[in-house]
Amino acid sequence: VQLQASGGGLVQPGGSLRLSCAASESRFSFSINAMGWYRQAPGQQRELVATITSGGNTNYADSVKGRFTVSRVNAKNTVYLQMNSLKPEDTAVYYCNANINTAWGRKDYWGQGTLVTVSS
């Protein structure tokens, strides 16, 4: 299963960006449990940003609560991250994650990462 993320870029402090991540696989069927976003800033460990279950329950890191919104469209196997009021400390590579069921079991899949830079 491939996860393709997009939407990163350079934005000024206070600005907004929307990230998208779509899961796809043409060779076999799959179903998705939770999806989410993580980020890794230079010299730091990867950290959770937000997750959303297949039923729509969400969880956010304290640092992004009230500014970021995670959502998903199950029919499109896609998860989104709307980021508002961006701060320089939000600068990081953002990775999407999906917990996926296949005929061979359940495992986590990761996207390739998309860079978000918040700077004036």
- pLDDT tens-digit series, residues 18-51: 999 999 888 988 999 999 999 999 999 999 999 9
pLDDT-based confidence at residue 92 (cuts at 50, 70, 90): very high
Return the pLDDT at 26.
85
Placement of tokens 């076999």 in the chain: 28
pLDDT-based confidence at residue 120 (cuts at 50, 70, 90): very high
Q: Which amino acid is present at 50?
A: A
Supply 88's token pair: 């320089």
* Largest Cα–Cα separation, the chain: 48
25, HSE (Cβ side, Cα atoms, 13 Å): 16
